[in-house]
Chain A
Amino acid sequence: MPVDTHCPYCALQCGMRLTGTTVAPREFPTSRGGLCQKGWTAAAVLDSPGRLTTPLVRTGGELRPASWGTALDTVARRVRALQDTHGRDAVAVFGGGGLTNEKAYLLGKFARVALGTARIDYNGRFCMSSAAAASTRAFGLDRGLPFPVSDLAGAGAVLLAGANPAETMPPFTQHLAGAELVVVDPRRTPTAEAATLHLQPAPGTDLALALGVLHAVVADGHLDKAYVAERTTGFDDAWRIAAAWWPERVERVTGVAAADQRRAAALLAEAGSAYVLTARGTEQHAGGTDTVGAWINLALALGLPGRLGSGFGCLTGQGNGQGGREHGQKADQLPGYRRLDDPAARAHVAGVWGVDPDSLPGPGPSAAELLDSDARALLVFGSNPVVSAPDAGRVTGWLAGLGLLVVADVVLSETARHADVVLPVTQWAEEDGTLTNLEGRILLRRKAVDPPAEVRTDLDVLAGLAVRLGQPAARFPADAEAVFDELRRASAGGPADYAGVTYDRLRAGEALHWPVPRVDHPGTPRLFLDSFAHPDGRARFAPVDHSGPAEAPDDEFPLVVTTGRVLAHYQSGAQTRLVPELASAVPSCFVEVHPDTAARVGLADGDSALVSSRRGSVVARVRAVASMRPDVVFLPFHFAGEGRANLLTNPALDPVSGMPEFKVCAGRLSPVEVR
């Protein structure tokens, strides 16, 4: 019996039809019938030999099969013991942007009610946090794309800042086919290849580039003065900074020709319909929030946001990267994109949960800080920080020093290998659940196949643990629809209001973009058309300036290391490395480097190289790429062991968003003897 569903991977959530474990694409507005290789092969993880099929508990130093009763009892007992000795914050929770809305919601509730800990955050902190913070600052609200993806098809020009959708969400690029593309990327990616204009800045200089293009917009007469006057505040202060960044000065910092900056400004201004979109390349910096703010400034100067046929947006990464940041697994947040430090929000949510508002903990540390805190136990759901966290070697050491590490996952991830208790949970096609895609549309993914016998849903696991920790069973339902109905009430009246979304409406195929405040409300495909979400209805320019990366190259580490993704793998690769077709497409870590830079240290295409930073070393196969900047090397971060690119990355954090500086650190390249 075929079941219409969506791909388990990225936020585009391509439409697919699953018949048993056979995948076929289907028409859907975001994917237009397309699937990339990850989507086509997604079902391979369902029956992969690498699949977890029973709980594991570490005994005598080894992870050994155990019953669910033993596993959950062990977790509950040790959690209680640690909390009794060290306080409730001794136990921390780490979630993921791939979890369904129901899981993310219940995980947040579990942390704050059953565990009573302030320490909960998730891997979306490494993903969407800078864009979210900048959008909230500028518009008063953060929804990745505040318009449907299909609106892009009418664009005359699109600027992609640090986005490589040709590899990260290939079917998305169909929507860009009619537009003049301006691609900002230090590498000549497949997306950049297809661009009308490729701006290739030195890593970590995007903010300066955005200032230069803004300068050109003003100096060349493209400023939308009426829009700036009527719909924004703060232009003068933002311009004062941009005025000091004339394109020739920006050229010297970024390496992007002044003429190209002016051309980018003209392409966007003269397109009639234009969009500015950001993604991780420009966001994953210690100055990521300000950098996104600079791109938003550009969009505002051109009069794009909040107008039909133009706009600003960010391309969300993980499958539920949008919903995952709305419903309470974030350190500072309650369901409905409410703030944890807002007394009214606390009262509302505590009311839904049937607890005293004062019993709710306050905001906790961001993900990277949490993984460096004095917590004694960590419960991980749907994340693999051993591979995906910055300065991964240090994080791995921190995990090893915990009194208790619990990992709920589909496969035995690198993080799970370090765990004391491993809980096998269901995945995408084995369970019901909702996700919110990159355009804020809520999607129902329905169960299509039965999970292995000893595999439970995350909701089940949370319910089981909550009861063992003394919570009433009724407070932690394990049925997805029941959890969703509670989420609707908890989110009601919040910025991300799901009150009017029901499983029945989703089953009927309704396209519902939040906010949906009532069941008779049609949803909100386009935000901001009348006003922005600040009290005065205006968007805010951000007075942001360029300051550069946290770690600059020097004599010892003369190169800039940047990290990213390849088409064949997803995130930490825990799933995709198990798919033979994907593993053979890109089997191991590689380092893209200019052939001259490689040759200078005696390396050539195909050689094994050692890439080092102040924090660690990675072994990677050399890919000599002539379009690389000679001062930059690139590594994908999907690989484990000695191919872990995050052994190199700098954990310097954005002061606003808590985003680590994944995209720039100083490094060195040298040959490695083949072992």
Chain B
Amino acid sequence: MRHVLVVGYGMAGARLAEEVRRRDPDGARVALTVVGEERHPAYNRVLLSGVLGGSLRTDSVRLQDPSWPARHHVDLRAGSVTGVDRAARRVTLTDGSTVDYDVLVLATGSRPWLPPVEGLVVDGGLAPGAVAFRTLDDCAAILAASRPGAPVAVLGGGLLGLEAARGLAHRGNLVTVVHPVGHLMERQLDPAAGRVLAATLATLGIETRLGVTAARYLPGDGLKLADGGLVPADLVVVSAGVRPETTLAAAAGITVDGGIVVDDALRTSDPRVHALGDCARHPGTVSGLVQPAWEQAAVLADLLTGTDPAARYRGTPVVTRLKARDVDLAALGEVHTDVDDADAEVLCLQDAARGRYAKLVLREERVTGAIVLGAPDAAAAITQLYDRGAPAPADRLALLLGRAGSGQPASPVDLPASATICRCNTVTKRALVTAWRSGARSAADLATSTRATTGCGGCRDAVGVIATWLADTDPTR
């Protein structure tokens, strides 16, 4: 039996353990040891903004119940790994103990990147009153430090920063987002979409300071900006991006290039060492998202258990969804393509007053990029076309607008003669007209002679309208 040692018990590591045990429930093929650093059982980081917003309790975001590892033959060790001896295939833990492995899996995740703001970092950690938004403990710290009504600054106008901002605003904090780039979520949005998003956030009470960096953190006061302005804040939430956690891999001599480099089998430069999730760098994959990590876990579990030795991870198309109450935003693929681009078909609709912005980029009939803000059902349809590489409908505007584009139903008077009025009894408008001409003179007569309205009765109004119209236009009366 092979011994697989997983370093990291976050979303990637815990998922890998589950996927392995789904394929090898009794541990007949793979013995599994997982080393976890955080004091909490593995939890779902995606739901942290729900915890921040108050809709989810801490124990609702746990990925597994506490007895899961024991019940599934997973040896879970608390602590962190201090070193890897690849030659001996052995790791050393903080408490000095060692664990041998046949296969090592690095799922060490990422750590927040701290921008160079004077006073923000003290003794290698965040200064008092400043907290990252990354872990359950961060959440608890934010919740403890942010009284409703208190001003909070969020450093970073990316996806996570905005989700934190929305959660805090929902709790009643006065939130200001400070973002060094000229528009929000610049990786996922074009400038115009960023402007509409900022306007939408403003209506929810979230202020934004764009194109300016924070120069100095003044605990208790707030942030001094490079342009001289001051953002008052009792609490500063730092959400300026993350960096893959590669310290352990690098120290072990494994190839690192902005992340632990892996191939389609999730193998690092040492074939006995795999990596997945935020710490890994796979060509064609943007790190920092859950979906790739989970897809990688499934592939790696296929390989480790021998379920499918041909399993390979080929990358995940990235769809960014902002999970924030009352803000519906999806962005995918090439978002910066200009409307005048000669090689692409680009549609763009801007309705800032109503918080709507929709941009669609197509090449060879396929969706290759989109930004959809404030049109939730259009976002869903476009995402599916993008994911499946399916040709887009010819009616591009309907696609871009979603349900908003569908019109009001016509009056039965305006329907063609062949239109079915009573579905239950297959009665067309023509049949009603014919019945009228044969002597039916009221809705009740029409019902008797055609059976319209005698099923579910849903067409009673329509038959009434048609009867009135027939009476009004009847030349014999």
Question: Which A residues contact B (CB, under 8 angstroms)?
Answer: 25, 34-37, 40, 166-167, 170-174, 190, 194, 202, 218-221, 236-237, 239-240, 243-244, 246, 248-249, 251-252, 255-260, 567-568, 581, 585, 594-596, 599-600, 626, 630-631
Contacts and interface: CB of A to CB of B under 8 A. Distances in A.
A37 B63 contact: no
B67 to A, nearest CB: 11
A34 B47 CA distance: 49
A186 to B, nearest CB: 12
A266 to B, nearest CB: 12
B391 A259 contact: no
Contact of B451 (A37, A167, A239, A568): A37
B416 to A, nearest CB: 14
B247 interface: no
Interface in B61-80: 61-65
Contacts of A599: 394
Given A167-B423, A243-B63, A37 B455 contact: yes
B383 A252 contact: yes
Contacts of B424: 34-37, 170-171, 567
B225 interface: no
12 contacts: A37-B455, A171-B424, A171-B456, A190-B423, A240-B65, A243-B44, A248-B321, A258-B321, A567-B424, A595-B394, A596-B393, A626-B395
Given A174-B456, A258-B376, 12 more contacts: A35-B424, A237-B65, A240-B65, A244-B63, A246-B46, A248-B321, A567-B426, A594-B393, A595-B394, A630-B385, A630-B391, A631-B390
A640 B390 CA distance: 32
A220 B395 CA distance: 35
A219 B50 contact: yes
A194 B458 contact: yes
Contacts of A585: 426
Nearest to A584: B426
B391 A170 contact: no
B454 interface: yes
A36 B451 CA distance: 9
Contact of A25 (B62, B328, B384, B454): B454
A34 B423 contact: no
A218 B65 CA distance: 17
B400 to A, nearest CB: 15
Interface string B451-462: 100111110000
B390 A257 contact: no
A221 B55 contact: yes
B454 A34 contact: yes
Number of chain B interface residues as a range: 35 or more
Contact of B380 (A167, A255, A630): A255
Nearest to A246: B46
B323 interface: yes
Nearest to B406: A627
Nearest to A250: B380
A181 to B, nearest CB: 12
Contacts of A25: 454
A596 B423 CA distance: 26
Contacts of A568: 426
B284 to A, nearest CB: 18
Given A246-B46, A257-B376, A170 B423 contact: yes
Contacts of B379: 251, 257
Contacts of A40: 425, 451, 454
Nearest to B22: A545
B60 interface: yes
A60 B451 CA distance: 48
B316 to A, nearest CB: 10
Contact of A255 (B323, B384, B457): B384
B107 to A, nearest CB: 17
Interface in B29-61: 44, 46-47, 50, 55-56, 60-61
B44 A244 contact: yes
Which residue, of A218, A236, A255, A594, has the highest number of chain B Cβ atoms within 10 A?
A: A255
Nearest to B57: A218
B425 A37 contact: yes
Interface of B: 44, 46-47, 50, 55-56, 60-65, 290-291, 319, 321, 323, 328, 376-377, 379-381, 383-385, 387-388, 390-391, 393-395, 423-426, 451, 454-458
Of A219, A252, A585, most buried by chain B (CB within 10 Å of CB) is A252
A549 to B, nearest CB: 14
Nearest to B379: A257
Contact of B454 (A35, A202, A600, A626): A35
A585 B376 CA distance: 38
Contacts of A166: 423, 456, 458
Contacts of A218: 56, 60
B60 A239 contact: yes
Nearest to B385: A630
A246 B47 contact: yes
A40 B426 CA distance: 12
Contact of A243 (B47, B381, B394): B47
A665 to B, nearest CB: 17
B384 A202 contact: yes
A260 to B, nearest CB: 7
B435 to A, nearest CB: 15
Contacts of B291: 249, 252
Contact of A246 (B64, B323, B385): B323
A35 B455 contact: yes
B418 to A, nearest CB: 13
Contact of B60 (A35, A243, A258, A260): A243
Nearest to A585: B426
A416 to B, nearest CB: 28
Contacts of B423: 166-167, 170, 190, 567
B405 to A, nearest CB: 11
A257 B425 contact: no
Contacts of A567: 423-424, 426
Ranked 5 nearest A-B pairs via Cβ? A259-B376, A248-B321, A257-B376, A257-B380, A170-B455
A581 B451 CA distance: 13
B457 A34 contact: yes
Contacts of A167: 423
Contacts of B383: 251-252, 255
Nearest to B389: A558
Contact of B456 (A173, A594, A631): A173
Contact of A260 (B56, B377, B387): B377
B62 A240 contact: yes
Contacts of A194: 458
Contact of B391 (A34, A237, A596): A596
Given A240-B63, A258-B328, A220 B55 contact: yes
B430 to A, nearest CB: 14
B31 to A, nearest CB: 24
A36 B44 contact: no
B334 to A, nearest CB: 18
B457 to A, nearest CB: 6
A545 B62 CA distance: 17
B379 to A, nearest CB: 6
B321 A219 contact: no
Contacts of B46: 246, 249
Contacts of A596: 391, 393-395
Contacts of A260: 376-377, 380
- Identify the interface centre among B56, B321, B383, B455: most chain A CB within 10 Å of its CB: B455
Contacts of A246: 46-47, 323
A167 B387 CA distance: 33
